[in-house]
Amino acid sequence: MARTLDEIFSDTQPTTQQQVSLPETQDRGVVQKVAESRVGRALTGFSEKVLKKPAEFLFETTGKTLGSFLLGTFSKDPKFKKLAEETITPGNIAFTAIELYPGGGFVTKQLKKIPGGDKLARSFTRRISNLSNKAQAKAVKKFSEGLGATKQEFKLKSEKVVPELLKRGVSATSRERLLGKAAKEADISGAAIDDFFEQLPKATRLKTKPLVDALNKYRQQFIVKGTKIIADKRAVALVDEFKATIAELGDEVSPGTLRSLRNIWDKQILRGKGFVKTVSEGERIDILRNARFAIAKELGKEFPRLNKLNAEFTFWKTTQEVLEETLKRTASQVKSRQIIPMSTAALLTGLSGNEGDLIATFGKSAGAAFLARQFFSFISSPGWKFVSGSNKKKLADALLDTNVENFATILSKIGVVIKNAVPEENRKTLDQIFIGI
């Protein structure tokens, strides 16, 4: 079972073996003392456990990343003030990904638990505050693109569910997998609603008058203000038709009966989507939608807990509908299995040292397992330090965009650099990696 960041950090003990890398500066000694203090050592211990791979990937060593952050925070030397800024950027997976991880605030919360960590936490919060919205907006945009909605109706639905998906930390390597999760969660939340109604006392009754009042209020928009002149006779007739249906139920009705009526109307609305041929048919769907909304509102007013259950069901059902529409539309395309672009936070998983996670990032793309094996062999190789920062950045970008072709091309170039940097006697292992043995 995956452990939370809080759990990982809670058993992180300060150690004198972990070192923070600091450049020469006039107040290097002051910063070094901070680095060697309990706060510095605990922060380093946390990073070694949680951020090791990402930090090494971009900065060669975790120590260098932490050194830059500590120096930029505590140094009085102006030229080092930008170091903290450089450490905390959307491109630096080491810190930003953890802080912006769904739920947020992990680094700052853990810093505050350490004696003397308040200043670091304040510095971190101040520097990352301007990046949070930008990074979140980028993640939402990427995730929305991954859902692939093209019709306006589904784009609007996508905009509603994506922020919540990110907030909940939902990630998926393909649309099919996310669809499977959404369908499963919709079934679970739907069953919870069923259980709720079954557990209500049999004698529970609700008045139908509020429903009739709601429809009468809606009916007024089709009548000329200040007169009794009906401007849209067809619409008024439809509203009266639905009022008559409710009236047939009597003055009081069981919650289950109201729910049954709402479900019947929901199915009519669903059948009407995409098949409305006339204005009158479209008008009927709109009025039906308002009638079922009146029922939902009344049930929610009487049973507040039902609102939460319905919201959960609607969230997953909407996600399911968006993905079903996208997959249906792209079913005939060669590249129907498109990968959902991951946010910087999700990339942390791909760099956590687990080949399976990286393979999942690329889905069933040809050679995904081979690329994952190469990748983790390269970043743990002594020759990795000879790879240029620009190539590392290109590789990170390709991984963020889940662009298999670019990732493979850049990885191949990096492999040549590493191979040439490794002593002759150690090249046999690398040769085996290159040919996939």
Q: Which residue from 335, 380, 382, 375 is spatially nearest to 359, judged by alpha carbons?
A: 375
Last residue of a domain, one of 295, 330, 365: 330
Question: Region 137-166: what's the mean pLDDT?
Answer: 72
Coil, helix or strand for 161?
helix
- In a domain? residue 271: yes
- Is 166 found in the same domain as 243? yes
Q: Give the chain's domain count.
A: 3
Angle CA 324–325–328, to nearest 5 = 80
Is the model's pLDDT at 211 over the cut of 80? yes
Q: How many Cβ atoms sit within 10 Å of the Cβ of residue 232? A: 14
Most confident of 30-34, 294-298, 306-310, 340-344: 306-310
* Predicted local distance difference test score (pLDDT) of residue 431: 43
Phi, psi for 15 (deg, rounded to 5): -140, 145
Give the dihedral sign, CA 408/413/419/421.
negative
Reported as a pLDDT band with limits 50, 70 and 90, residue 159 is confident
User: What's the pLDDT at 238?
Assistant: 86
pLDDT band, residue 275 (cuts 50/70/90):
very low
- Same domain as 165, residue 128: no
- Per-residue pLDDT, 361: 53
List, in sequence order, every residue forming a beta bridge with 436; answer none if it has no partner. none
By the 8 A CB rule, do 94 and 50 touch?
A: no
User: Is the model more confident about 133 or about 147?
Assistant: 147
pLDDT for 198 beyond 70 = yes
Residue 113 lies in a domain: yes
With respect to residue 30, please indicate whether it lies within any of the assigned structural domains.
yes
Same structural domain for residues 169 and 314? yes
Closest of 79, 83, 91, 87 to residue 62, by C-alpha: 87
Q: Count CB neighbours of 311 within 10 A.
A: 12
Residue with tokens 């996670």: 357
Confidence of residue 176 (pLDDT cuts 50, 70, 90): confident
* Cα separation, 160 vs 394, whole angstroms: 32
* Three-state SS at 351: coil
Query: Are 171 and 116 in the same domain?
Result: no
Indicate if 112 and 231 belong to the same structural domain.
no
Higher-confidence position of 123 and 185? 185
Select from 132, 165, 198 the last residue of a domain: 132
Domain residue limits at 418 = 353-435
Q: Are residues 91 and 194 in the same domain?
A: no
- CA 69 to each of CA 19, 64, 188, 205: distance values in angstroms, whole numbers, following the listed order: 14, 9, 45, 63
Q: What are the distances in angstroms from CA 205 to CA 202, 219, 251, 303?
A: 8, 26, 10, 12
DSSP string, 91-130: T-IIIIIHHTSTT--HHHHHHHHSTT-HHHHHHHHHHHHH
CA dist list (Å): 1 to 7, 31, 54, 134, 238: 12, 38, 21, 32, 55
Contacts of 332 (CB under 8 A, 6+ apart): none
The pLDDT tens digits of the residues spanning 369-386 come to 677 777 767 766 666 666
Residue 98, pLDDT above cutoff 80: no
Task: Tell me: pLDDT of 160 over 50.
Answer: yes
Are 176 and 320 contained in the same domain?
Answer: yes
* Cα(168)–Cα(381) distance, integer angstroms: 35
Predicted confidence band of residue 251 (pLDDT cuts 50, 70, 90)? very high
Residues 215-228: b if buried by 16+ CB within 10 A, e if exposed? beebbeebeeeeee
* Same domain? 358 vs 323: no
Residue at 339 is within a domain:
no
Q: What is the pLDDT of residue 303?
A: 87
Judge if 278 and 160 occupy the same domain. yes
SS3 content of the chain, % helix, strand, coil (to 5): 70, 0, 25
Residue 219 belongs to a domain: yes
Are both 320 and 210 inside the same structural domain? yes
The reply to whether 146 falls in a domain is: no
pLDDT at residue 26 is higher than 80: no
Q: Are residues 10 and 112 in the same domain?
A: yes
Backbone φ and ψ of 223, nearest 5°: -120, 135
Model confidence at 408, in pLDDT bands (50, 70, 90)?
confident
Question: Helices 279-302 and 209-219 meet at what angle, rounded to 10?
Answer: 140
Same structural domain, 300 and 173? yes
Residue 305 and residue 299: Cα distance in Å, rounded?
10
